[in-house]
């Protein structure tokens, strides 16, 4: 029987970094899964083994093959893997199948040195909101190249690193910059945003558990607007182990509420990154994410203070882009309510027309 197999991870030293390497077989994209992180955060063998389970589980479900993990893994994580499968299979019954995980359960945990708190940080709205909310508690910020920043785009990586380091220094937090090639294996089988990103980011967080006992995962959507997504309050906590607690954070607030909250943050004004364009400028200014964020900032009266965005809102371009997804609909509706409250008729009228067009297309009478 063909299975997805992940060998016992190895740790290699490479200058000021360490690299975790684990061979994956059983897929067309066989090869070495690689995680690069600062040597000061070199993971224990137990943490490296645990980090293989979330990614391996997603790959196995998508390829409908059992998962064989050579190294023993956290008993808690192994137990939770069944519930993770139940959730994802219920969301994507044709895409993700229940599989068997062949692995030994481990009862002992790696030693903890500091008991710090970590949060992922992309310099986006959700990330700044969670950092502000837990500012006194969070000690470290994590950004991984290769997740939403292409590994080959050195110019964008350098620009991201500059902004992330300045934002971390302003907050007096430690920035941990990592690199991972997991999307090479995941992308041929599933959507990054809808399925695999939460598991993959959690895998990297597990590697940092020698110093961190809590990990905040900023929410993408509010509780009022939840739908199947790779990071979700039903799933993120299930990637926790006996030594690392993973917390889905910020779902109590809508995206407009978060944007209004961080709109007055000087660091966000200097470093905010929201664009899903993977090449070129830090923010393009004309994609749907840029436009909807600029609208909320304009309605809050703060757009002119944001240095990483232009200050023009092209409503014609917004209308041309339209509403193409449930995500677009959620954020358009939030901005429409905000624009109505502010009495901004041009934005409100444009969004109302877009919402009506989307509803007539998706829910015809």
**Given a cut of 90, is residue 346 above it in pLDDT?**
yes
pLDDT at residue 365, as a whole number: 58
pLDDT at residue 364, as a whole number: 75
Distances (CA, A) of 338 to 12, 255, 284, 348: 51, 11, 24, 8
pLDDT at residue 238, as a whole number: 98
**Given a cut of 80, is residue 224 above it in pLDDT?**
yes
264 is written with which tokens?
């007055």
**DSSP states of 72-95:** -EEHHHHHHHHHHHHHHHHH-TTT
pLDDT, greater one: 11 or 150 = 11
pLDDT band at 206 (very low <50, low <70, confident <90, very high): very high
pLDDT per residue over 245-262, tens digit each? 999 999 999 999 999 999
pLDDT per residue over 64-107, tens digit each? 999 999 999 999 999 999 999 999 999 999 999 999 999 999 98
**DSSP states of 192-237:** IIIIIHHHHHHHHHHHTTTTEEEEEEE-SS-GGG--S-SS-TTTGG
pLDDT per residue over 150-180, tens digit each? 898 888 899 999 999 999 999 999 999 999 9
344 is written with which tokens?
């901004």
Using CA atoms, how far apart are residues 265 and 270, in angstroms rounded to an integer?
9
pLDDT at residue 356, as a whole number: 96
pLDDT per residue over 138-152, tens digit each? 999 999 999 998 898
How much is the mean pLDDT over the chain? 95
What percentage of the chain exceeds 70 in pLDDT? 98
pLDDT at residue 14, as a whole number: 97
pLDDT at residue 171, as a whole number: 98
Rounded mean pLDDT, 275-290: 81
- Tell which residue, 103, 210, 119, 214, has the closest CA to residue 171: 119
pLDDT band at 211 (very low <50, low <70, confident <90, very high): very high
């Amino acid at each position: 029987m063909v299975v997805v197999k992940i060998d016992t991870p190895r740790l290699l030293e490479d200058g000021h970094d360490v690299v975790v390497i684990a061979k994956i077989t059983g897929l067309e994209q066989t090869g070495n899964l690689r995680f690069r992180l600062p040597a000061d955060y070199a993971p224990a063998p137990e943490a490296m083994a645990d980090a293989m389970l979330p990614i391996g589980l997603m790959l196995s479900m998508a390829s409908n093959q059992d998962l064989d993990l050579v190294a023993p893994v956290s008993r808690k994580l192994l137990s939770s893997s069944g519930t993770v499968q139940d959730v994802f299979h219920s969301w994507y019954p044709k895409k993700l199948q229940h599989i068997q995980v062949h692995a030994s359960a481990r009862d002992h945990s790696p030693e903890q040195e500091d008991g710090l708190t970590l949060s992922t940080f992309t310099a986006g709205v959700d990330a700044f909101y969670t950092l502000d909310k837990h500012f006194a508690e969070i000690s470290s910020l994590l950004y991984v190249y290769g997740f939403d920043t292409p590994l080959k785009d050195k110019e964008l990586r350098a620009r991201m690193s500059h902004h992330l380091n300045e934002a971390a220094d302003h907050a007096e937090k430690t920035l941990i910059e990592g690199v991972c090639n997991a999307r090479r294996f995941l992308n041929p089988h599933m959507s990054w945003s809808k399925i695999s990103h939460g598991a993959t980011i959690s895998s990297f967080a597990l590697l940092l558990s020698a110093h961190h006992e809590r990990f905040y995962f900023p929410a993408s959507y509010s509780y009022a607007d939840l739908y199947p997504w790779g990071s979700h309050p039903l799933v993120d906590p299930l990637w926790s182990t006996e030594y690392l607690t993973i917390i889905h954070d910020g779902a109590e607030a809508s995206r407009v509420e978060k944007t209004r909250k961080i709109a007055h943050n000087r660091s966000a004004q200097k470093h905010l990154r929201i664009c899903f364009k993977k090449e070129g400028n830090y923010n393009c200014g004309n994609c749907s994410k840029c436009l909807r964020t600029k609208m909320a900032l304009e309605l809050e009266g703060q757009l002119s203070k944001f240095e990483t965005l232009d200050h023009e809102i092209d409503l014609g371009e917004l209308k041309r882009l339209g509403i193409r997804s449930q995500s677009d609909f959620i954020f358009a509706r939030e901005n429409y309510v905000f624009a109505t409250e502010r009495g901004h008729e041009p934005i409100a009228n444009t969004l109302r027309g877009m919402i009506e067009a989307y509803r007539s297309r998706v829910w015809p009478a």
